[in-house]
Amino acid sequence: MMSEHIMEDLLVTLLQLAAEKHVSDIHFVWEKQRLSIEFRTMFGMQPLHQDIWNGEFFSYLKYRAKLDLTHPQKPQSGQFDIRLHDQTLYCRFSTILNQNMQTGVLRILHTEGVMTIDQLTDDPRPVRMMRELCHYRQGLVVAIGPTNTGKTTTLHAMLHEIASAHRFKIVSLEDPIEIEDESYIQLQINEAQGFTYEKGIEELLRHDPDIIFIGEIRSAYTAKMVIRAALTGHFVFTTLHAKNCLEGIQRFYNFGLTKYDLTNTLTALIAQRLYACDQKGGKQCIYEILSKQDLRYALEQGAYPAGFETLEKEIRRALAEDRICDPQAVYDVQSF
């Protein structure tokens, strides 16, 4: 059995390799006494051909993430942080046991400084629209997209711009805190101690914030609490997993919200994707922003207005103009 020191060295080595390849997730499959590893990169899944990391290391990840090792058959998720190259990496590790196979996913989150709105994209139109949204004082702004599309980065950039005026109390509830920003209060969800999104929102509303960032809508209860916060005079930011803005509206309906709820709270929906824009790891976001008359039309008709620049159109335009060079973008436009 290898020592904890050796295991930690193996973990650091794996994370260093992942950092070099700009990996967002590391996928593990433990089956037939063999550990298979794949990296999720901006260019898709890449297998790691290796004989260094084994089942003992897989067990160490469970230990490091403080999973309950006495119940391996139960799906579990835990977290830990580690220093790498003078930077804190926040890691979330999830496991599932299926018959004789165990799978695990290690999500790597870089705790880093906030980006400005100008740094998100080279397209001036969404930059201008997001800046306009920063002047609102009540309502609901929702960033929409799959995992790893920059939703949290976008909202933190907007919150930072608002915070720079030093006139409003901003509080965030996040799981995890991906981007640290000293210009406002950030609270970490801790479900093990009972501090869930639901509990956190209830407590926040008692502390008189002007602006609230809820890291993610995960349940009907959270969705309804977000609407409640917006209806009671707060400016609320949150994220939602959906394909585009129209699908985001449908997801709200699936959570039990009504057209009245959305009409009286929604300020803007921001659907986005994150793509490589050069061969050196550079990235930028491509946006679809639904607001004002376009948003009202979508809520009433369940469709985009004629001539609206959808996310599909924006991705195609970015590809045609060589602003992005990501194979995933080609796949995405084919899936719309």
The number of CA neighbours under 13 Å toward the Cβ of 33 is: 0
Q: Please, is 45 exposed, middle or buried when counting C-beta atoms within 10 Å of its C-beta (0-12, 13-18, 19+)?
A: exposed
Q: Write down the pLDDT at residue 112.
A: 58
The pTM for the full model equals: 0.81
Domain 4-109 shares a fold with domain 117-335:
no
- With H, G, I as helix, E, B as strand and everything else as coil, classify residue 176: coil
Fold of 4-109: Beta-Lactamase (3.30.450)
The number of CA neighbours under 13 Å toward the Cβ of 83 is: 1
Pull the structure tokens for residue 319: 């590809």
DSSP state of 104: E
**If we measure between CA atoms, which residue out of 234, 260, 248 comes closest to residue 289?**
248
Interior angle at CA 57, CA 50 and CA 2, nearest 5: 105
**CA-CA distances (angstroms) from residue 316 to 130, 276, 309, 320?**
21, 14, 11, 6
Identify whether the C-beta of residue 293 lies closer than 8 Å to the C-beta of residue 316: no
Identify whether the C-beta of residue 249 lies closer than 8 Å to the C-beta of residue 291: no
Q: Write down the pLDDT at residue 111.
A: 57
* β-bridge mates for residue 270, sequence order: 143, 289
CA distance 267 to 139: 5
Q: Write down the pLDDT at residue 113.
A: 63
* Count of other CB atoms within 10 angstroms of residue 222: 21
Q: Write down the pLDDT at residue 19.
A: 86
- Amino acid letter, 286: I
Q: Write down the pLDDT at residue 250.
A: 97
Sheet with 87-98, strands from edge to edge, namely: 44-48, 34-41, 25-31, 101-111, 87-98, 76-84
Q: Write down the pLDDT at residue 110.
A: 63
CA distance 90 to 24: 11
- With H, G, I as helix, E, B as strand and everything else as coil, classify residue 66: coil
Pull the structure tokens for residue 34: 């063999």
Each domain of the chain, given as residue ranges in start order, spans 4-109, 117-335
- Amino acid letter, 174: E
Fold of 117-335: Rossmann fold (3.40.50)
Tens of pLDDT, residue by residue, the chain (336 residues): 678 889 999 999 999 999 888 888 999 999 989 999 999 887 778 999 998 999 999 999 999 998 888 877 788 888 888 888 777 788 889 999 887 899 999 988 765 567 899 999 999 999 999 999 999 999 999 999 998 899 999 999 999 999 998 789 999 998 878 788 888 988 988 777 788 888 888 888 887 899 999 999 989 999 999 999 999 999 999 999 999 999 999 999 999 999 999 999 999 999 999 998 886 668 899 999 999 999 999 999 999 999 999 999 999 999 999 999 888 898 898 888
Q: Write down the pLDDT at residue 85.
A: 78
CA distance 317 to 324: 10
Q: Write down the pLDDT at residue 1.
A: 67
- With H, G, I as helix, E, B as strand and everything else as coil, classify residue 190: strand
R_g of the chain computed on alpha carbons: 21
DSSP for 103-160, please give it. Answer: EEEEEEEEEBPPPPGGGT-S-HHHHHHHHHHTT--SEEEEEE-STTSSHHHHHHHHHH
**CA-CA distances (angstroms) from residue 266 to 62, 139, 151?**
40, 6, 17
Q: Write down the pLDDT at residue 191.
A: 74
